[in-house]
């Protein structure tokens, strides 16, 4: 067997570069994505040119995207995502439409014609599913409200990619009329998604269970990989993105607790290697020469992506009833230009709808915004946490003063009750157990979808941020006997435990942890007991 092929050499170079870049980023206390992108730019064709078979490498890197999104789908609760309902659809459609309008305006200002300006707006409107979800995964925030909101909006964006491609084909004179293109694309997408959903919800859990009973671990791993790649192939055939199919398959599989956990544990090692391969290959697309010669245009698109997307997502989610803290975190997660924007721009250039400079412009702006996203999210998270713990004004504002004020009316009447922070899957289960014991309780939740659905039948549920003193006081935490932090985000749980311990030094505190390394921090902050799921 001949191992000295160019592709083999390229993979070795990329893995070495990924290892060095990831290690360098860790030593500098930077997100690993930045290290991977920089490493790719160094070994890529625009710098040292150590990689020659770029197209083949990018094909392999696509496996990383597919496996990552499959694993992310397994980790996200489908029922939690479903609870977002119409809100995530309204926010997504509003953000896409308004961003396209802004992009159109930028293109017009740069002297482009209407078709090219429209394509620029489409490319600008899409965020990176890979970067946003990996950032959430690395931070352990997939199960948080802002994590679910971002995942839902990214899912809608991926679906919007289909009509965008139909519009570009119509603008380029390819295929039938625009209405026919949209109808055909929508029909194909609906059939394929229904097929993936049906197979994933009924056939896949049954198949994985039967394979597991045989006892051959390698057969189980191969079956999981085949399921992820098969779902990706189906959606790709239907005109949707391949990773979208893997994400939906994982999402449906998440409803089967046993199969989902086992599949996740087997995919993680392979997923991380291919994900690193993807980001290094993405860094190779960086064209420093183009950046230098078109600095103004690139900076304009980078600035528009960051400022416009953050402003629109923050404004829309606030208008839909989400707290400022949740809206801000969701906005920062989606400030980048996405990988599917490459396809939008590339197709438009190939069909003569836009000039040749559009593709490298979008690629360069996308790589830069992808690289800075993890850092933006980290800084924003620390800033928001600092503001809500050190400033009374920002604490009340970020937590939603209206929720605290409405809740204040019922708090003082309670004595010796239980306060539950978080009314998601875990919190709702805990409340059900408390009800069966006949204990009085108050539950705090910041998701307006849950509040609007549950408050009609549950007058012990209040709206607000459980890290806020005013909300905790409204829940009567000073007079409670037990506080349960069922919050999916580690930082929020830490802050809530800290505030509760200060408000009531005698109260018993039980907290949920997502990872083993979080247990000690919660105990040192004031939790009497910490529960974390061990796979």
State residue 412's pLDDT score.
Answer: 47
3-class SS shares of the chain: helix, strand, coil, % to 5: 70, 5, 25
210 and 325 both lie in a single domain: yes
Encoding tokens for residue 509?
């505190």
Does residue 55 lie within any of the structural domains?
no
377 and 256 both lie in a single domain: yes
CA–CA separation, 121 vs 348, rounded Å?
A: 12
Of 363, 274, 339, 272, the C-alpha closest to 129 is 339
- Residue 338 DSSP one-character state: P
Answer with the one of 357, 389, 421 that is the final residue of a domain: 389
What's the CA angle centered on 91, arms 87 and 96, to 5 degrees?
Answer: 150
Between the CA of residue 63 and those of 41, 67, 279, 509, 519, what are the distances in Å? 20, 6, 12, 43, 34
CA–CA separation, 374 vs 32, rounded Å?
A: 9
Does residue 103 lie within any of the structural domains?
yes
State residue 396's pLDDT score.
Answer: 53
Does residue 136 lie within any of the structural domains?
yes
414 and 378 both lie in a single domain: no
Between the CA of residue 342 and those of 161, 297, 337, 361, what are the distances in Å? 11, 17, 9, 10
361 and 409 both lie in a single domain: no
Does residue 7 lie within any of the structural domains?
no
Q: What is the CATH number of the domain that holds 514?
A: 3.40.50.720
Does residue 195 lie within any of the structural domains?
yes
432 and 350 both lie in a single domain: no
Answer with the one of 340, 355, 389 that is the final residue of a domain: 389
What is the tally of structural domains in the chain? 2
Does residue 12 lie within any of the structural domains?
no
List the domain range (segments joined by +) for residue 92: 65-269+287-389
451 and 363 both lie in a single domain: no
State residue 408's pLDDT score.
Answer: 43
Encoding tokens for residue 142?
């997939």
DSSP one-letter string for 460-492: TEEES-TT-HHHHHHTTGGG-SEEEE--SSHHH
Q: What is the CATH number of the domain that holds 211?
A: 1.20.1530.20
Does residue 471 lie within any of the structural domains?
yes
Does residue 181 lie within any of the structural domains?
yes
511 and 370 both lie in a single domain: no
Mode of pairing for the β-strands spanning 441-445 and 461-463: parallel
189 and 258 both lie in a single domain: yes
CA–CA separation, 239 vs 189, rounded Å?
A: 7
367 and 423 both lie in a single domain: no
376 and 432 both lie in a single domain: no
CA–CA separation, 354 vs 365, rounded Å?
A: 17
CA–CA separation, 34 vs 312, rounded Å?
A: 26
State residue 389's pLDDT score.
Answer: 60
Of 489, 520, 471, the C-alpha closest to 427 is 489
CA–CA separation, 167 vs 213, rounded Å?
A: 49
Residue with tokens 């697309």: 285
Residue 102: Cβ within 10 Å count: 20
349 and 431 both lie in a single domain: no
Angle between helices 114-125 and 340-350 (to 10 degrees): 160
The predicted-structure confidence for 318-372, as pLDDT tens digits, reads as follows: 999 888 888 999 999 999 999 889 889 988 998 899 998 999 999 999 999 999 9
Torsion of CA 148, 267, 55, 340, to 10 degrees: -10
The predicted-structure confidence for 354-366, as pLDDT tens digits, reads as follows: 998 999 999 999 9
The dihedral through the CA atoms of 519, 329, 387, 394 has a sign that is negative
Given a cut of 50, the residues of the chain with pLDDT beneath it are 1, 3, 401, 404-405, 407-412, 535
Answer with the one of 342, 366, 389 that is the final residue of a domain: 389
153 sits in which H/E element = helix 145-171
Side-by-side strand order, sheet with 529-531: 461-463, 441-445, 418-421, 482-485, 508-512, 529-531
CA–CA separation, 21 vs 283, rounded Å?
A: 11
383 and 410 both lie in a single domain: no
- Cβ atoms of 249 and 200 within 8 Å: the answer is yes
Burial class (CB in 10 A: 0-12, 13-18, 19+), 247: buried
């Amino acid at each position: 067997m001949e191992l000295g092929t160019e592709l083999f050499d390229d993979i070795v170079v990329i893995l070495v570069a990924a290892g060095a870049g990831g290690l360098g980023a860790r030593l500098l206390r930077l997100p690993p994505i930045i290290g991977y992108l920089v490493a790719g730019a160094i070994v890529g064709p625009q710098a040292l040119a150590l990689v020659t078979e770029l197209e083949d490498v990018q094909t392999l890197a696509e496996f990383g995207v597919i496996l990552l999104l499959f694993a992310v789908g397994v980790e996200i609760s489908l029922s939690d995502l479903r609870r977002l309902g119409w809100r995530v659809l309204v926010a997504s459609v509003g953000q896409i439409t308004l961003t396209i309008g802004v992009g159109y305006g930028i293109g017009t200002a740069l002297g482009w014609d209407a078709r090219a300006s429209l394509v620029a707006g489409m490319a600008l409107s899409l965020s990176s599913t890979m970067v946003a979800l990996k950032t959430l995964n690395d931070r352990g925030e997939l199960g948080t409200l802002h994590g679910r909101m971002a995942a839902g909006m990214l899912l809608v964006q991926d679906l919007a990619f289909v009509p965008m491609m139909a519009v570009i084909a119509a603008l380029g004179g390819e295929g039938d009329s625009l209405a026919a293109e949209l109808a055909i694309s929508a029909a194909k997408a609906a059939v394929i998604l229904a097929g993936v959903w049906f197979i994933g919800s009924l056939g896949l859990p049954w198949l994985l269970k039967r394979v597991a009973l045989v006892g051959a671990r390698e057969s189980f791993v191969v079956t999981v990989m085949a399921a992820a790649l098969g779902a990706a192939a189906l959606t790709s055939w239907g005109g949707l993105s391949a990773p979208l199919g893997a994400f939906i398959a994982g999402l449906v599989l998440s409803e089967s607790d046993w199969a989902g956990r086992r599949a996740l544990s087997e995919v993680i090692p392979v997923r991380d290697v291919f994900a690193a391969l993807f980001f290094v290959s993405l860094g190779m697309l960086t064209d420093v020469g183009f950046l230098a010669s078109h600095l103004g245009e690139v900076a304009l698109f980078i600035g528009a992506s960051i400022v416009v997307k953050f402003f629109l997502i923050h404004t829309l989610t606030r208008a839909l009833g989400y707290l400022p803290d949740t809206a801000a975190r969701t906005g920062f997660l989606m400030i980048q230009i996405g990988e599917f924007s490459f396809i939008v721009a590339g197709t438009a250039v190939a069909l003569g709808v836009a000039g040749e400079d559009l593709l490298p412009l979008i690629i360069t702006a996308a790589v830069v915004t992808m690289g800075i996203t993890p850092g933006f999210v980290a800084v924003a998270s620390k800033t928001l946490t600092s503001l809500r713990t050190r400033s009374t004004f920002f604490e009340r504002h970020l937590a939603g003063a209206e929720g605290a004020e409405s809740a204040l009316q019922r708090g003082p009447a309670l004595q010796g009750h239980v306060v539950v922070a978080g009314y998601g899957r875990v919190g709702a289960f805990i409340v059900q157990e408390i009800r069966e014991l006949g204990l009085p309780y108050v539950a705090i939740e910041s998701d307006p979808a849950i509040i609007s659905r549950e408050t009609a039948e549950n007058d012990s549920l209040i709206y607000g941020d459980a890290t806020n003193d005013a909300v905790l006081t409204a829940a009567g935490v000073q007079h409670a006997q037990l506080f349960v932090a069922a919050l999916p985000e580690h930082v929020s749980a830490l802050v809530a435990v800290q505030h509760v311990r200060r408000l009531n030094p005698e109260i018993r505190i039980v907290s949920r942890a997502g990872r083993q390394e979080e247990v000690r921090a919660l105990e040192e902050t004031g939790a009497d007991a910490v529960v974390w799921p061990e796979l």
